[in-house]
Amino acid sequence: MASSDYARIEQAILYLDAHALEQPSLEDAAAHVGLSPFHFQRLFSQWAGISPKRFVQLHTLRSARRLLAERRSVLETSLEVGLSGSGRLHELFVTLTSMTPGEYKLGGEGLTVRYGVHASPFGGCLLAVCERGICGLHFLTGESKEEALAALKHEWPRATFEESAEATAPWMERIFSASRPDAAPRPLSVLVRGTPFQVQVWQALLRVPSGEVTTYEDLARAIGKPKAMRAVGSAVGDNPVGLLIPCHRVLRKTGIFGEYRWGAARKRAMLAWEDLRYDDGVAQQARPGALVEPTAAQR
């Protein structure tokens, strides 16, 4: 799938979200993104694994307010829920390791980081790995690979960098097979370099199950700092490993989706993509995940 096609998917999801109560027709959704009904149906089904009509019928585009109203205290009870058989707990397939204070000061000195640009269901992305696991996942938002790489180097200022899509390709396969409800992969190891506070917030994010959301207030309470909502928001925004550390599952308490490091429309697409997989903890039959190729400028 081309990046231009993914842009249409984002537009379609935002449109269907805004008009969900009206049960928009295939023709209306297709016209909104500038395609014929036939081509839109084919494009959407390729990405989502089901038709636009079925997508709306499954209520995968629940409003943010409903998501928040229905949420349980997932951060307090997620471990119990995750081990009860739902298979949704992010912690079950992502293991987060942080640099020690001494290692943090070294800025990645002595670490070799291999990176590559790949297609993903959410557009091109730059994935970085080291001997201790995944150490960066940046989605490309129109910028070139060099800009994403500059952000990665800022996170690991003293590391050695090698471009090797061959080294990162197996990790891409594991990331998206781990996202399928029928998969039983080995846990993915993620290495981060952050302050103790940032790491605490990122670890709390791993306890938000797929298909559910939380708020900045909930996160602040979960880490025992209920008045630190602004600092929590900054830590969420500084997340260096997109999707795997699920900062896209954080909404404002008003139900507004808010900003996202890699674009608000991509955040909405991620939530919809995850929603396709589960309904009250039961895996759906849809298998979304058409890969979106990076543009020539992003390679």
Check residue 21 and report its DSSP letter.
Answer: G
Q: Per the structure block, which two tokens stand in for 41?
A: 């149906």
Classified as helix, coil or strand, 182 is coil
Nearest to 67 by CA among 243, 242, 211, 233: 211
Give me the helices (H) in 133-225, please. 145-155, 165-178, 196-205, 216-222
Nearest to 242 by CA among 293, 169, 192, 295: 192
Q: Which amino acid is at 198?
A: Q
Q: Per the structure block, which two tokens stand in for 204?
A: 């709390």
The catalytic position among 125, 130, 135, 247 is: 247
Is residue 247 part of the annotated active site? The answer reads yes
Q: Print burial letters for 201-226: b (CB count within 10 Å at least 16), e (below 16).
A: bbbbbbbbbbbbbbbbebbbbbbeee
Could you tell me which residues come within 8 angstroms of residue 207 by beta carbon, excluding any fewer than 6 positions away? Answer: 74, 75, 78, 79, 89, 90, 91, 222
Nearest to 86 by CA among 181, 175, 208: 181
Could you tell me which residues come within 8 angstroms of residue 215 by beta carbon, excluding any fewer than 6 positions away? Answer: 68, 250, 251, 252, 253
Q: In sequence order, what DSSP letters do the residues of 239-290 get, joined into one string?
A: -SBTTTS-GGGEE-TTS-----TT-HHHHHHHHHHHHTTEETTEEPS----P
Bridging pattern class, strands 112-118 and 160-163: parallel
Active site residues: 247
